[in-house]
Structure 1
Amino acid sequence: MDLDPRLAALRPLGGFFVLRASGPPPRPLPPLAEAYGAKPPWTRPDPLAFRVRKVGAALGAPEPRVAASVAHQGLAARLWSAALGCAALYGRIPDLDPRLLHWDPDAAAPDDLWLTEVRPLPGDADAVADAVLRAHLEPLGTALRARYRVAAGLLRGNAASALAGAARELDRWARAHGRPDAAARARGLAAELLGHPLLAGTGTLTGTAFRRRSCCLYYRVPGGGVCGDCCFPAPPAAPARSARSPAGHPPAPPSSPRAPSG
């Protein structure tokens, strides 16, 4: 199936997979390239800092790097979901060039991302890795490490966790809607992508279940716990806290997209 200009096949999967496409956003919004490359002194509002502050305020995060980690995982899951959804349902993906993909850091999915033009690319693992890992998560990680001192291994774990969560949700949807072909493609892509040099060693994938070797720091949020795929069986130094559901993703603030649940 060829990509249609509005990526309509993604709509039944729900808001986190949906990508507004083939048109400008409803108001001027920065491309993600600007968010990744913003450096002081800023001449316009900084979207990445805005999102981190917003996530931190919503969660009551005790330090900026916790908010930065949660914000990173939310955006990573959003990007993986759109790319994997297209690869599984169309067999192709749109070019997600950060200069074409505009971002509203104050909005929830699907109104947070707007792709101004659909340029078809192959839907194999190499193309998906280039579209998400190389084009987005590498520069995003560089920006977050420089600004918030978030560990590189933590960000790699976040990226892998977000990928596994997106693939798990897509697999569940596809099997429930009589699309075993799409379910198989989602599982196969996730397994291949988790072997990519930028993600290799971040965790163990068994079927659609993933166990990461790092922690996203959500347990440091007041009232938080460990994720379903966390390396810790219980929050460090806080064994009385209850673990979260096996979603494997931190709950996003009301104005942010929610990662696919497991």
Structure 2
Amino acid sequence: MMKRSFYTVAVATVCMAALGSVAARADLLDDVMKARKVRIATDLAIPPSGMVDGNMKPTGSDVETAQLLAKDWGLELEFVQTTGATRIPNVQTNKADIIISTLSVTPERAKVIDFTKAYAALQSVVGCLKSLEVKNWEDLKGKTIAVSRGTTQDTELTNMKDRNLTLARFDDDATMVTAALSGQADCVATSATIVNQIGVKNAARAFEPKVVIRNFDLAIGLRKGEPRLTEKLNEWITTNLKNGKLNEIYKKFHGSELPADMRG
């Protein structure tokens, strides 16, 4: 009888400890609101989504989206500088609360982080020098395609083993674009927006989209298991798609409107 009682008490103690541990684990939304600050991972080297202006201040469509969010929630905004490869680790290791950085929704990423509903869209393409005759995947054989490490383009092209593509990986979009402008690569895999930016200051190295890889939804990323924060972010996105503010930001920097079905 004493053994049974001891066992019962032991189990109850373990259960209470477990419940206490869950209760002690602060909810991220509560943490953010209590701190009165939101830490947002944003790549500032991928114009026009993220960049710095002449006064070295952050600007771009993702930057203004982050600024609008912080303003609407009455929070201080802290940008956590990131690259394509470090965006997800930043929220997994609590260096950032959320990601607003051209983060496209993929099944692979959804296994390790959660996504909000889409706030913008991205056309992923292979772009090449305008002078190159490239109309399909077959025309890309034998050409080196520059790509930013850890991006969806990197993943997509790496998995196209049957196409025998030659990839040159760079740490971020800025160095990838530099490689294109310097002649290290005549093709790049990135967003159509970035492709159209290449060569603006050097017409001799002007690029254009050649082959569409895929169209992606862009969403806000956050660590797994934060349903309250996800819900609040979704409400904010819905509101600002309907009132046109997110579309205004996108059009300002990308020169085109969001898809009609996204604008509602």
Range of TM-score over shorter length: under 0.3
Higher strand share: 2
Q: TM-score, normalised by structure 2?
A: 0.27
Larger Rg: 2
